[in-house]
Amino acid sequence: MSKIIVLGGQGQLGQCLQSVCEDKAMVFLSSKEADISNEAQLEQWFIQYNPSHIINCAAYTAVDKAEDEKEEASKINTIAPGILAGLCKRFDAILIHISTDFVFEGNQTGLLEETSIANPTGVYGQTKLDGETTIQQIWNKHIIIRTSWLYSEYANNFVKTMLRLAQDREELKVVADQVGTPTYARDLAEVLCKIIDNNITEDEYGLYHYSNEGVASWYDFAYAVFELSNTNIRLFPIKTADFPTKAKRPAYSVMDKSKIKKQFNLVIPNWRDSLKNCLQRLKEIQN
């Protein structure tokens, strides 16, 4: 039986895949076990498992740090996906690659479609966009999924950071003029499992957008985290200009999910409903 290799297997999406895809023959490789920029090392995993699918959850995601580490970000986000695409072509494996809403500049007001102009404002977004292009040029059997504001009960993310900060602070200020959609990594993991079960056909390969439904600012997101977890803290909205960062974030990155919903017959939950589920699981883990 062919295996499904998950790269970045110890990240939050990788851990969610472990939780929701227990019936599948998956091999979860951490970044230490499989450096996605090391072709010789990756080739050995391909030879060992002869995978039917590769799910690449590994990425350089330190958005601000990337501004100073362009070479490292490019190695992981641009060059490595090309290596993976080349190996997938050699071994005839389907490549499922996770990308980001940061490929957009963030100055549009309508829902962002897969055909909308991508114009990243920082190194992270540019290297991720270049990674998409590299895959598209090398191997046609690919599915690239752009997602946004990923969180879960695993690893480090916005939800867990807010809850941690609330333990020793009486008030917090959160940016309210950056708008997008929070995405529960467990929901995305379930979609990835469904795509694999779908026995992907030639007309289904390509680029897709996936996030939960709905729209929120980071302030809205934080407010919901505290409201739904019954956390008592004073929360204040601020402007992006009041919280300067090295890398510019998209002011607006709400994506249109029509294509992925139609292609794979998906019903996508609202972000608040998924947040409730995540907070419940976090509570169960802590207890």
**Separation CA 253–CA 134 (nearest Å):** 23
- Amino acid identity at 78: T
**Separation CA 94–CA 127 (nearest Å):** 22
Strand pairing class (179-180; 216-217): antiparallel
| Separation in Å, CA 121 to CA 104, 125, 275 | 8, 7, 29
Q: Which of 124, 154, 223, 252 is catalytic?
A: 124
Is residue 129 within 8 A of residue 120, CB to CB? The reply is yes
Is residue 95 within 8 A of residue 85, CB to CB? The reply is yes
| Separation in Å, CA 131 to CA 74, 99, 168, 208 | 8, 8, 40, 15
Is residue 137 within 8 A of residue 282, CB to CB? The reply is no
**Separation CA 182–CA 253 (nearest Å):** 11
Q: Is 155 left (phi over 0), alpha (psi -120 to 50) or beta?
A: left
Calculate helix-pair angle for 80-91, 123-138, nearest 10 degrees: 20
Which are the contacts of 277, defined by CB distance < 8 A and separation ≥ 6? 184, 186
Tell me whether residue 154 is one of the annotated catalytic residues.
Answer: no
- Beta-strand ranges (E) seen in the chain are 4-7, 26-29, 53-56, 94-100, 142-147, 150-151, 171-175, 179-180, 183-184, 206-209, 216-217, 234-238
Question: Which residues are known to be catalytic?
Answer: 124
